[in-house]
Chain A
Amino acid sequence: MSGFFKSSIGRKVAMALSAFFLMIFLLQHFIINSLSVCSPDSFNEVSHFMGTNWLIQYLLQPVLIFGVVFHFVMGFVLELKNKGARDVKYVQNKGAANSSWMSRNMIWSGLAILAFIVLHFIDFWFPEINTKYIVGDTSGLLHNGEGFRYYEELHHKFESPLRVGAYVLAFVFLALHLMHGFTSAFQSIGATVGRKKIMKKLGMAYSVLIPLGFIIIALYHHFNH
């Protein structure tokens, strides 16, 4: 079994498994974010639960961080290995004649997502960790004690047009990453045999709808001030 994950195919299967995990996480994150539009009260409650439940904080959160780090480190490893497999480049190469831009540029869309994750951590995750574990305030309440702080914080963050612009751009790159990635992950684990067409449709639906949803939520909070 250890030999399997050292093989070229094993690495791709590991890549796909981490990607599945990230895609499930993304869906979950999207559903919670939608609450901030439909029902700020439920958004506050769910956020408080997610932020204070020990199972989520001490088990799922580290697993998620591992998943993200594993995915992009493996992405770099594969990219380097693949570049090394052709030592002399073509003088003329028509990549667009036989493959999509998305599929040939996973590393660039991935790097854009990575830059976004850094920004996102600075925006939300570090302040969260600071409030809860350094300041030690796990109440989840506003300074004046009048209700939960989560919705207010989120709403406030999306005031800046620069930040909203960066978020929108990042989600465009996420969509490009997933337009190829979704089907690719199923192909990597060998699940596309006999159902390539339906996989392509599902992939297109997921990779357009989810990022578009995130964009709409960001714009909603920006223009709703």
Chain B
Amino acid sequence: MKLTLKIWRQKDAGTKGKMVDYQVKDISEHMSFLEMMDVLNEQLVGKGEDPVAFDHDCREGICGMCSMYINGEAHGPDRGITTCQLHMRMFNDGDTITIEPFRAKAFPVIKDLVVDRTAFDRIQQAGAFISVNTSGNTQDANAIPISKHAADEAMDAATCIGCGACVASCKNSSAMLFVGAKVSQYALLPQGQVEAADRVRNMVAQMDLEGFGNCTNTGACEVECPKGISLENIARMNRELMKAAVNN
């Protein structure tokens, strides 16, 4: 395949960026999108130009690092995948592909397609944990009975990889699907109950502080999420926050 790529180039956070056109050829339809980017970068390095910076790590849909906005959608046109799992067979010979970084005020660009998603880390640190004594006498988690339904839902919520596609896809740059998943993962389990009120309050407060938008319930996040995290998690988080407010 021969492709035209329109890629956002930005030297660093302080410099203004712009879209730059590149041509790549001999792209196999079996390549992943990141491998296609590797081909481009080898070409650029060969010419002595600065390669396009992009985030990646596992290249198998687990780490959530690969954060590109491809042809107007987070992780491109396919569903239930990250960019590293996007195959070039989703495109046609001669296509023009637009590649931009995830856009949100809370996700500032570091360089080219790399954005700073540490806002998610700070939200996690605000409450996505349970405080247990790890002295060696910790109770076996399996000793506490949990219904199959609750266990399944908590597991589903826990599959969120913190990629930020929900924020990137949301017209409001809202992080509610991510935070909803993290809150739900604990709210559904008995171990999460003790700190439930503080958890949701602190995590939502941190989310607001980071400058993410509000939720309009458009559902774009759920559609674009590589892990199929359900909107119900947002409803559950709202309920948890209301519960925390009433009980206080």
- A residues near B (Cβ < 8 Å) are 1, 3-4, 7-13, 78, 81-82, 84-95, 97-100, 103-104, 106, 180, 183-184, 187-194, 196
A100 vs chain B, min Cβ distance (A): 7
In the complex, what residues of A have CB within 8 A of residue B6's CB?
91
A196 vs chain B, min Cβ distance (A): 7
Decide: B238 and A85 in contact? CB cutoff 8 A. Answer: no
Decide: B103 and A86 in contact? CB cutoff 8 A. Answer: yes
Known: A86-B105, A86-B173. A189 touches B241 (CB 8 A): no
> Is B242's CB within 8 Å of the partner chain A?
yes
Bound CA–CA A86/B169 (angstroms): 11
B157 vs chain A, min Cβ distance (A): 12
Bound CA–CA A85/B208 (angstroms): 10
Bound CA–CA A99/B73 (angstroms): 12
In the complex, what residues of B have CB within 8 A of residue A81's CB?
172, 213-214
Decide: A85 and B213 in contact? CB cutoff 8 A. Answer: yes
B137 vs chain A, min Cβ distance (A): 36
Decide: A196 and B100 in contact? CB cutoff 8 A. Answer: no
> Is B231's CB within 8 Å of the partner chain A?
yes
* CB proximity to A under 8 Å, residues B213-248: 213-220, 223-224, 231-232, 234-242, 245-246, 248
Can you name the residue of chain B whose Cβ is closest to the Cβ of A96? B72
Excluding A7-B204, A97-B72, 15 further A-B contacts by CB distance (< 8 Å) are: A9-B204, A82-B174, A84-B105, A91-B8, A91-B19, A92-B71, A92-B72, A92-B98, A92-B100, A94-B72, A104-B218, A188-B238, A190-B237, A192-B231, A192-B235
Bound CA–CA A97/B71 (angstroms): 11
Bound CA–CA A12/B238 (angstroms): 9
A149 vs chain B, min Cβ distance (A): 43
Decide: A4 and B72 in contact? CB cutoff 8 A. Answer: no
Decide: A12 and B220 in contact? CB cutoff 8 A. Answer: no
In the complex, what residues of B have CB within 8 A of residue A9's CB?
176, 204, 215, 237-238, 241
**Out of B98, B213, B238, B240, which one reaches A86, CB within 8 Å?**
B213
Bound CA–CA A1/B247 (angstroms): 9
